[in-house]
Amino acid sequence: MTTFTPSTAAETLSTVAWAAAEDSPLEILGHGSKRGIGRPLQTEHTLDLSKLSGVTLYEPAELVLSAKAGTPLADIESLLAENGQQLTFEPLDYGPLLGGELGRGTIGGVLAANLCGPRRLKAGAARDHILGVAAVSGRGEAFKSGGRVVKNVTGYDLSKLMANSWGTLAILTDVTFKVLPSAETEVTLALRGLLDDHAAAAMALALGSSAEVSSAAHLPERVAARVAGGSLGNAAATLLRVEGFGPSVAYRIAALKDLLGNAGPLEEISGDVSHSVWRDIRDCAPFADGLEKPVWRVSMAPAQGHQMVLALRMQAAADAFYDWQGGLIWLRMEHGDPEADLLRGLVRQYGGGHATLVRAAPSHRAAVPVFEPQAPQLAALSARLKAEFDPKNILNPGRMAPAASSATLGTATEGAAS
């Protein structure tokens, strides 16, 4: 097995051109923090982009940052924090959940996996903040899309097409993101002791108010104790995050207290504890305690999520918590079987959605569709896109679907919603 470690875009292009000429498949890696997501690969060669690193442009006043694809996300977040800025979509870190280290993800992987976090309701995902990319297709051809300003796209926006493609269409070499100022103040209002259905109603009420809640999550009983070092205690916690200028945050928190005063006991959480709570929710920390139990990431209508979980628990042992007002459900299957058919059947029964198997043994990932199977029309579109960008199927072959199906884009709608 050969590992190629290019340090420039030209070296990356040369490597892919060789692989295309030789019909030799490549596994595409940054630092490998998400290597355990997707179907197991069997490739003779690996293209390691960890040396393709460095920030190439950062203009705080223009709210724009460009970096090589292998640049550690932790380095970029540190640089932005020094200037009071952030990637406002707060990309999650899969490392600990998959048994790896915190802070090993790369900025290219952020776009390839279309990462986001609890602020998804307000800020969107990586695809909503990408301004431009430089990449190499599976044909061994370099291309660029977008640029370094917000309104700089004519024709097809290939930058967004790269989101959620997991390295199966092209290899990113450079990316440019829009950045935004960090909030001056962050306060989290916690309602304690609510059952899942009552929590869903409370979150819907809060999100429908004028309080401008930026994040809403529900941690059921016992799950709450697994975030922020146990500082929340064991009782269920329904969490509403409010951000902005200090006086505005205080006013909106007071309004939420008036609105939800009869829902249950209320607590205010601020400062480092609030940051820690949302970071752990973002990174699925409650389930980052081993690798033997499969973990699912389910996206569906917020009003239906808790009902689907209840129906699932009638047939299989599962632990769960909710983000995105209940529209994102993290599920851990307690007996080791992913129960893919059961889960996806229930998701369809309760209004539809997408279920992604983000952690499981390699044998399960080889046997179970990791990404939500596509409708025939979308699968056909994915196959045509794959044929245009990577006709010889040399880039992460089979990671998102069996190679014979050529449906390599996962779920296009989830790329926009995850």
Question: Average pLDDT for residues 302-319, to the nearest whole number?
Answer: 97
DSSP 228: G
pLDDT value of position 55: 98
* pLDDT range class, residue 411, cuts 50, 70, 90: very low
Burial class (CB in 10 A: 0-12, 13-18, 19+), 135: buried
Beta strands in 180-310 (DSSP E): 180-181, 185-192, 215-219, 237-244, 266-270, 295-300
Mean pLDDT of the chain: 94
Confidence of residue 414 (pLDDT cuts 50, 70, 90): very low
Q: Please, which pLDDT band fits residue 148 given cuts at 50, 70 and 90?
A: confident
Cα–Cα distance measured from residue 199 to residue 224, given in angstroms and rounded to the nearest whole number = 13
Joined together, the tokens standing for residue 13 give: 């292009």
Which helix (H) or strand (E) covers residue 160, if one does? helix 158-161
* Residues 279 and 239 sit within 8 Å (Cβ to Cβ): no
- Supply the pLDDT for residue 413: 38
Paired strand residues for 67: 55, 175
- Please write the tens of the pLDDT for every residue from 191-243: 999 999 999 999 999 999 999 999 999 999 999 999 999 999 999 999 999 99
Q: Are 296 and 369 in contact (CB under 8 A)?
A: no
Query: Which residues, in sequence order, are CB contacts of 118 under 8 Å at separation 6+?
Result: 90, 215, 217, 241, 278, 281, 282, 323, 324
Q: What is the pLDDT of residues 366-391, one digit of tens each?
A: 999 999 999 999 999 999 999 999 99
For residues 416 and 354, the answer to whether their CB atoms sit within 8 Å is: no
- pLDDT value at position 409? 46
Q: What is the CA radius of gyration of the chain?
A: 21
Taking Cα atoms as reference points, which of 29, 93, 114, 95 lies closest to residue 291? 95
Q: In this predicted structure, what is the pLDDT of residue 206?
A: 98
Give the pLDDT confidence of 247-291 residue by residue, as tens digits. 999 999 999 999 999 998 999 999 999 999 999 999 999 999 888
Question: Binning pLDDT at 50, 70 and 90, where does residue 27 land?
Answer: very high
